[in-house]
Structure 1
């Protein structure tokens, strides 16, 4: 055969192989995905439906029906179709509330999550422990947990942290997209915002220790690499990234570098893959295959035991083709199976990894049961502003 023809044929074969690799899974993969999802709860680390309820309805749940709401990525029919067994709902308020009314607004978001569970008890079961997640799964309900997204929601108060824990909050994302008086946020790694603390301040380290004592999951999404390293070094419990993807696939500073992935593995933590197009491809467009690439990369770098799902639905504008809303989770699970993931690896990513991390955090809490709460406040000069009253 002429060399040029041979090369062209080989090239065509390579292209056809690549195209085949990008084809959607078949019915066999979908059937297997649904079977695995019936055995192991799909736990998602981050959904901003509560923020949509504030934006669209000012948290007036009487004005919305989650059975028929169609302007969001999330509603009850989509949850059922997507086999979403457990969800960390985000109690998020914007950074512009910092030093003003962030605590009040966050409490209102916590309240709306509780009321959502009370209004739809046939669908949602409020959960605050690893045991609760499994109990909801056995009752065929969606376990509903709370994560506070952004340390500015605390107003630099350990008392507020403890109060939110008592209200059912089970993770705190240390920063959002602004520095707090005790921690830098991810934007300092882009030079868009200067570092104030070289990671965590001394009070920030107090807060990490208090979260360990309480049994609250430490969420490193939205943090810079310096904070990631400091927390991974000092935390007694594993950590989570509730909605972050792989920097090795998409070099966006909200994503997790390979060396951190390996440290998360060594710490026994979890990275829950984000579906936001900007973090998937660093562009306005992305597809389900691009998201699967992040799952594959994390597995190849640090193993399937650190992977989870962190869709970020209703918190972002652009989501990938093929993952348009929460009903599409089975398609992604099926794609992982098509790519050669074993049943055990898929079940780990679905929920076993998060349950393991949650249990380890609860065990750390139990081990620290005799430790007194930290009541040393942040120094006044670090939080002094016109909206804050000081009694010291």
Structure 2
């Protein structure tokens, strides 16, 4: 054998031997690399709601650097789940801040309250220029990342916030809102919610025009909280990608707030995104069933002992003792991600934690610091670094850029008009 051939054989054989000190990357290493390259872009965080409920939007004395001391036991509130220190620990690079206001407000009150919520979040961002950067576009998100700051975008949760007015939604866009969730837990006058009795068989003509107008101006259409028929009606008229800012898969947890398989398939065709939610009863089917059973048992005991509430209460304690409450887990969040990935691929998945808005009690996901734990679990299940980067932020960037491109292409289209209500 010639010397060159012998050398080639040695080299070829050598690569099959493990090299000491260079073991295969662990799941934690894969997750960490993905989050370095593509920090988390979360679809839904309710810090503005907490500021309104806890402080009436008064920021004097509020320390967003560390909110661990914000517990209010007298009012049943634990510490907030979000602050700058924990966002950094969680590798969050961009955040849609939800300017949610109660769906129990009338529409005119909701419009004012939403403007106040936009204002308070802008003031929080402005107060922390070294850590946060206000963003209204994909280019500004990219600029924030290059500057090492948390890109801070605004999303509106609930169609009641626009007062059934296309003029108002256009002005909310001018104020910085970059998505609108079409309903919350109640129907609007033009769209059915997932958690209310149907009134409109999905969306009215006004609702469909709203979707068209939102996409014309570049505002993302958010289908979390809406009924399956509303989802379908919106997708029928959508010409740009839509989002679910904080929803899971009904194939894993049957809660009506989650996305049915048929709609998942349409999200792939639409090139949209489902940002997986961490709300415990949307994550864990066992917990959802337990909650329903507990309500049923409470109603049964109340019916049996209407004149002896202490007996009903004791019976309820006995039932809970015999039926321990299930606990949602970070692994179950991963189940939703994995289910959607197997159904339609990793190109259509993001994360919408809903921290400070209800995602309390998931084992392994206590607050915004814990995203690396979820990515480590996904890596353990075989998700490649490239897929993890898509899920963390690249998919959301693609969707926003597509919405912007559609709006740019239709910038000369006339505004859709509707008559004023009063």
Q: Please give the range of the TM-score, normalised by the shorter of the 2 chains.
A: 0.7 to 0.9
Indicate if the aligned counterparts of 2:178 and 2:219 stay in contact, CA closer than 8 A. Answer: yes
In structure 2, the residue matched to 1:258 is 261
Q: Is the 8 A contact 1:91 1:109 kept in 2?
A: yes
For the Cα contact (< 8 Å) 2:38–2:389, is it kept in 1? yes
Figure out how many residues of one structure are paired with residues of the other and give that number.
Answer: 350
Decide which structure has the larger Cα Rg and report it.
Answer: 2
Cα offset, 1:46, TM superposition: 0.2
Alignment of 1:94 with 2:102, yes or no, is yes
In structure 1, the residue corresponding to 2:156 is in which secondary structure?
A: strand
Determine which of 27, 30, 37 is the counterpart of 2:28.
30
Equivalent of 2:207 in 194, 204, 208: 204
**1:243 corresponds to 2:285:** no
Kept in 2: contact 1:57–1:63 (CA 8 A): no
For structure 1, the 5+ residue unaligned runs are 1-25, 381-389
SS state at 1:187 partner: coil
Q: Which runs of 5+ in 2 are unaligned?
A: 1-23, 69-78, 288-325
1:55 equivalent in alignment to 2:58: no
Q: Which residue of 2 aligns with 1:83?
A: 91
C-alpha displacement of 1:100: 4.4
Partner of 2:64: 66
Q: Which residue of 1 aligns with 2:112?
A: 104
Separation in 2, partners of 1:301, 1:265: 9
**From 363, 373, 376, the counterpart of 2:405:** 363
Matched, 1:147 2:155: yes
Aligned partner of residue 200 in structure 2, secondary structure:
coil
Secondary structure of residue in 1 paired with 2:104: helix
CA distance 1:35–1:49, shift in 2 (3 Å): same
Task: Give the drift of 1:34.
Answer: 1.8
For the pair 1:156 / 2:164, whether they are aligned, the reply is yes
Residue number in structure 2 paired with 1:179 = 187
Instruction: Say if 2:107 and 2:162, in contact at 8 Å, map to a contact too.
Output: no
Cα displacement string for residues 110-169 of structure 1 (whole angstroms, at most 9, x for unaligned residues): 001110110011111001111111111111111000000000001101111011100110
What is the alpha-carbon distance in structure 2 between the residues aligned to residue 349 and residue 319 of structure 1?
23
* Counterparts of 1:337 and 1:91, CA distance in 2: 33
Structure 1 position 285, deviation (Å):
2.0
Moved over 6 A (4+): none
For residues 156 and 364 of structure 1, the distance between their equivalents in structure 2, rounded to whole angstroms, comes to 24
Cα deviation code 1:271-329 (max 9, x no counterpart): 00000101001426201111110110000011001100110000005331000000000
Partner in structure 2 of residue 347 of structure 1: 389
- In the TM superposition, what is the alpha-carbon distance from 1:377 to its structure 2 partner? 2.3
User: What CA deviation, in whole Å up to 9, does each residue of 1:76-108 have, x standing for no partner?
Assistant: 110010010000000000011123411110000
TM-score, scaled relative to structure 2: 0.81
Which residue of 2 is the match for residue 41 of structure 1? 39
Task: Tell me the equivalent position of 2:317.
Answer: none
**Structure 1 residues 316 and 227: CA distance shift in structure 2, 3 A:** same
Report the CA distance shift for 1:319/1:305 in structure 2 as closer, same or farther (over 3 A): farther
Distance 1:133 1:329 in 2: 19
